[in-house]
Structure 1
Amino acid sequence: MFVRSCWKPTEEDLWKLVEANPWALLVNNGPEGPFATNLPLILDRTREKPVLVSHIARANEHAQALREAATPTLAIFHGPVSYVTASWYPQRDMPSTYYYTAVHCYGRVRIQDQPDLRASLEELTRGMESKYPAGWKTSEIPPQDITRRLPAIMGFELEVDRAEGKFKLGQDEPVKDALAVGNKLAESSDPAMLHLSELVIRYNRGRTSI
């Protein structure tokens, strides 16, 4: 990931993006090219190193690549992103661009045993369902309806050895232009655009260069 120093997020913002946007792209080397699978990766920050937890179908060729991985596994997370039209700039004298946020995590994979897999599925369900007023619980179905599925999936943990974040939010543009974009995004009713607006304003307010 190419990251100018001005685009580097704070460590806390980096992990907040991963927590808020768990739907990720997992990438591993393969003999005929890369394997790439979209899946949820849940961040656990309670351990010595951050760990990403998920599962994958055993029938997926990528599962075998994870078991045999000799090089780091890459997890790619995307936060809010927006096209920025040059018409939002006060003088309309800058080219159009994109403002975006992304995090890349690299690390080693450990395959879970079935008790760990069962526990991580419970944690995934609790976390996702907590957003809904009457969220679903695994206890609402017979236990065997879950356990009979476990042999078909492979749980794994990705211990993050290196994480890189890129928050390209106009920090290399004139302050007045970046703040104008932040204010324009604030007019949206889309929560993602409102979050992006907050980041743009926070990373540019008080900046003195250009």
Structure 2
Amino acid sequence: MHPIRAFRDEDRRLHEALIDQIGFGMIFAQTPLGPRVAHTPLISTGDGALQFHLAVGNGLTQHLPGNTALAVVNGPDAYVSARWYGQPDQVPTWNYVALELEGHVRRMEEEGLSALLQQLVDRQEARVTEGQPWTMDKLSPARLTGLLKGIVGFEMEIGSWRETVKLSQNKWAAERERVTRGLDSAGANGIARLMRDLVS
């Protein structure tokens, strides 16, 4: 988390939207073999918990239940050229949006895991514009049972939400506008759009 207070946005709706729109993140935890990270789809329950699943053989799976973990969701990011400021004595930087979630993790029962997978599939398939949505009922019961044995569902009870929303808030409005145009010209439209939407 960036130490400058200007790069905070404690709006929980923004945090939830980031989890929903990105839908993917990293889970970090300490294990007897050292720190480990896993990459996984994420679902927010909307009431302060985060759900995800990992392969049975993942290096974190056996160490997560009952322990504290850190989840990180990375939003748009882009290099900011010093030439865009239009003033001397400036340096390049990087604008980005990131959310850190820390909390206690429990293992889900199989019923909860099935519901998590159904929600993930439904949410992501709704974003695919061509063809008919894929549904889990296309799997045979035997195939689904076999797949479920290979993964473990988890729920993190979020105790801390820590965000960084670094969108040139420490610059004058005219400088931010030049940076926004520069980002658009460089193809970094996601971070440019956030600068327009979130920074007055």
For 2:133, the equivalent position in structure 1 comes to 135
Secondary structure (helix, strand or coil) at the match of 1:29 reads strand
Supply the AA of the counterpart residue of 2:192: S
Distance in 2, matches of 1:195 and 1:127, equals 21
Could you tell me whether the CA contact under 8 Å between 1:171 and 1:203 is conserved in 2?
A: no
List runs of 5+ in structure 1 lacking aligned partners.
206-210
Paired residues for 1:1-210 under 5 Å? 1-9=1-9, 10-45=11-46, 47=47, 50-69=48-67, 72-91=68-87, 93-133=89-129, 134-187=132-185, 193-205=188-200
Distance in 2, matches of 1:167 and 1:32, equals 33
Larger mean CA deviation between 163-172 and 52-61 belongs to: 52-61
Supply the AA of the counterpart residue of 2:7: W
List runs of 5+ in structure 2 lacking aligned partners.
none
Distance in 2, matches of 1:152 and 1:132, equals 26
Could you tell me whether the CA contact under 8 Å between 1:179 and 1:204 is conserved in 2?
A: no
Could you tell me whether the CA contact under 8 Å between 2:66 and 2:104 is conserved in 1?
A: no
TM-score (norm 1): 0.86
With CA pairs under 8 Å and 6+ residues apart, which has the higher RCO, 1 or 2?
Answer: 2
TM-score (norm 2): 0.90
Could you tell me whether the CA contact under 8 Å between 2:43 and 2:52 is conserved in 1?
A: yes
CA RMSD of superposed structures (Å): 1.8
Could you tell me whether the CA contact under 8 Å between 1:175 and 1:204 is conserved in 2?
A: no
Distance in 1, matches of 2:137 and 2:12, equals 37
Distance in 1, matches of 2:198 and 2:90, equals 19
Distance in 1, matches of 2:199 and 2:139, equals 50
Aligned residues: 197
